[in-house]
Amino acid sequence: MNRAIYVNLPDVESRLLEVGLPCVEEIHAAIKNGELHRDSCTANDPRGLPGLLAWGKTVRGLRDTLAPKGWTRFEGNNLAVALDSTGTTAIAVATGDKCTGDPKRTPETKYPKGPAIAAAIEQNIIQLVQTAFSFVEELEQAQQKPPVYTWLLLISRNKNEVHSELSLPRLITEKGHVVEWEERILLPPFPIDDESGPLNYEEENAGDDIVVEISRR
């Protein structure tokens, strides 16, 4: 279920400005930074490296681009985000499914997310309810700090172009997939070179809560 969807570019740019989020150009620059590093991989790299590089360098791209505006890096609860100067808006990066950027369909995160994203979504829900019932001041006083809304920059790449959206998650399943959004801000897709990318897009997985499991022999 989607509560609000922004599709037309003027509406998208206006909403991004209203909420205090990066502009389309800044977001695209960060995504392209990630895709550039993805495309540096060859078939001899470990299978998960292209996706991991794309995710990590997109996060860095956001942080680098937004630093002059007072945004900072934050790694609380093992979740890598860009945090605005007021400490109330955070952006995390995740791979979306093929519905990403499509106003007629509801996207999901392509891969399951861990407890860090789940905790951030729980805070989103609490704050949305508090705001709906005008309890924001009471909430801030109780926490001694303003609430943080965590947005997800969903990215989906095929062999022809990259689709993306900046959306506010409100529901994550028991299996870890984000499936419902309070708000979706759809960004214009941009083309990519069909021959420059990795051999198999479907086998890539990267994002928050990276866990390396080690078993004893």
pLDDT reported for residue 147 = 76
Cα Rg of the chain (Å, integer): 17
In the chain, domain spans: 5-188
pLDDT reported for residue 199 = 43
Among candidate residues 19, 21, 53, the one with its CA nearest the CA of residue 37: 53
| First and final C-alpha spacing in the chain | 46
Could you list the pLDDT tens digit for every one of the 217 residues in the chain? Answer: 558 999 999 999 999 999 999 999 999 999 999 999 999 999 999 999 999 999 999 999 999 999 999 999 999 878 999 999 999 999 999 999 999 999 999 999 999 999 999 999 998 988 777 665 555 555 455 555 667 899 999 999 988 899 999 999 999 999 999 999 999 999 999 998 755 444 444 444 455 444 333 344 4
pLDDT reported for residue 212 = 34
Report how far apart, in Å, the C-alpha atoms of 163 and of each of 71, 77, 83, 84, 100 are. Answer: 24, 28, 23, 24, 6
Prediction pTM value: 0.84
pLDDT reported for residue 3 = 80
Per residue, what are the HEC states of the chain? CECCEECCHHHHHHHHHHHCCCCHHHHHHHHHHHHHHHCCCCCCCCCCHHHHHHHHHHHHHHHHHHHHHCCEEECHHHCCEEECCCCCEEEEEEEECCCCCCCCCCCCECCCCCHHHHHHHHHHHHHHHHHHCCCHHHHHHHHCCCCCEEEEEEEEECCCEEEEEEEEEEEECCCCCEEEEEEEEEEEEEECCCCCCCCCHHHCCCCCCCCCCCCCC
* φ and ψ of 147, to 5 deg: -70, 155
